[in-house]
Amino acid sequence: MTTRPTLWTTLFRCKPVADFVVAGEGHSHGLGRKFGLFQLTMLGVGATIGTGIFVALTTAVPEAGPAVSVSFVIAGITAALTALCYAELASAVPVAGSSYSYAYATMGELAAFLIGACLLLEYGVSASAIAVGWGQYLNEALSLTTGWRIPDAIARPPGAGGVVNLPAVVLVGLCLTLLLRGAKESTSVNAVLVLLKLAVLLLFVCVAFAHFNTDNLHPFAPKGLIGIGSAASSIFFSYIGIDAVSTAGEEVDNPRRNLPLAIILSLLIVTAAYILVAVAAVGAQPWTAFKGQEAGLAVILHTLTGAAWPALALSLGAIASIFSVTLVVLYGQTRILYAMSRDGLLPAFFRRVDPVRQVPRQNTWVVAGGVALLAALVPLDVLVNLTSMGTLIAFASVSIGVILLRRSRPDLPRGYRVPLYPVLPIASAAFCLYLIAGLPKDTYLLFAVWLGGAAALYFGYSRRRSLLATGAAGASEG
């Protein structure tokens, strides 16, 4: 005679790893494996290099001063520790869903659902935050070429001098069009845009170092360690690309090899680029000049050279860069919704895949609509901190997940193993908690409201409809 599962056991029921693999490889009308290591690495770089350098410097430098380079190092170390944890879990559970899927295999259903909510916040809000900055560089390019600028009323969100951010809506619409064409087309365009943005950032670094003034580095940390930590917390959202790589687990060839490699390669490229640009920028311009400076890198180039073409080149590169980040982040969010829906935790609407293009078409429309609305109407600073919170929670869960999966499934095949186990996963989680502590109080309040809504959805809808609850999949409860 079988016993009825208690509420406690249902909250902590884990989805067997074998079920993830079957779902990823055998699901009818699935996503399909269409690209390799290069495209996957460019996906990670494309999702990462963007607003963190092209826009967020104008908010991070006033917090940390010239020591913003240290802030990027702290954020980079945290991301590096987490990236190694991601590499192990991605090689062991090579499916769509990223941290959500890893949590479902290690922590149980409730934790997975809440982490999935964090990911949806991370991706949706970060895409909006990134899109907000697109109009700044679009206006700079228009000003340099035609002398005309889009009026602030339709180029900025409320709270930042505007009524609605129309360029952000246009950007999301362009990304939507490309995503509906298919994953292979999207990743190919992204790879070209990534190479372009790296070339533009190299141009900036060369020009800025040629005009480097050591006087601009004094005082180095005008707001002390608190300012450095606060800046590191706010810019951490710019490392979201690590997670974005793992959302493509069902669409890349040889995932057990390519997923961990792409995660590590993309992080190395991104961290080197961030630190170089940050050091060059604060050496070329006094830190007090960054506050409120739109299209900051382009303005710095224009001031240093007195010529319009370097600033125009950087503005065009930023336009392409922010497009690629928005594209990849939208892609990642649709795949997380797809994975949660396939597990029965969200309506079936989100897992319907176009049999020709092999993309979740309706899902993509919903995501694009929500992101466009946020980008049009919400100021950048609110979006940045919320994204950092969601990202850090997801990253900490991955670090803990490595330890749990090592204990529960030591025999599971892994294409990569975290070195210095368990010290490195524990250090990764600790760094994430340190950065979470540096976020402002209003971010905690908004985040609590978000998680409360997610918990209400889980208990009101998802708990009874999950595949584990209906008996459509096996479960290892508790």
Render 123-157 in DSSP notation, one character per residue: HHHHHHHHHHTHHHHHHHHHHHHHS----HHHHS-
User: For residue 376, is it within any domain?
Assistant: yes
User: For residue 4, is it within any domain?
Assistant: no
The pLDDT score that the predictor gives to residue 475 is 41
Distance CA 188, CA 330 (A): 16
The pLDDT score that the predictor gives to residue 149 is 84
The pLDDT score that the predictor gives to residue 477 is 39
- The end-to-end CA distance of the chain, in Å, is 20
Residue ranges in the chain modelled with pLDDT below 50? 1-3, 25-29, 473-478
The pLDDT score that the predictor gives to residue 456 is 93
Instruction: Report which DSSP code applies to 254.
Output: S
How many folded domains does the chain comprise? 1
The pLDDT score that the predictor gives to residue 426 is 93
User: For residue 319, is it within any domain?
Assistant: yes
Domain ranges, residue 113 = 33-463
Structure tokens at 218: 């004094």
The pLDDT score that the predictor gives to residue 30 is 58
* CATH code of the domain in which 321 resides: 1.20.1740.10
The pLDDT score that the predictor gives to residue 32 is 61
User: For residue 164, is it within any domain?
Assistant: yes
The pLDDT score that the predictor gives to residue 362 is 87
Distance CA 236, CA 240 (A): 8
Place of tokens 């974005």: 244
User: For residue 303, is it within any domain?
Assistant: yes
pTM above 0.95, yes or no: no
CB 338 within 8 A of CB 100: no
Amino acid 397 reads S
CB 278 within 8 A of CB 296: no
The pLDDT score that the predictor gives to residue 453 is 92
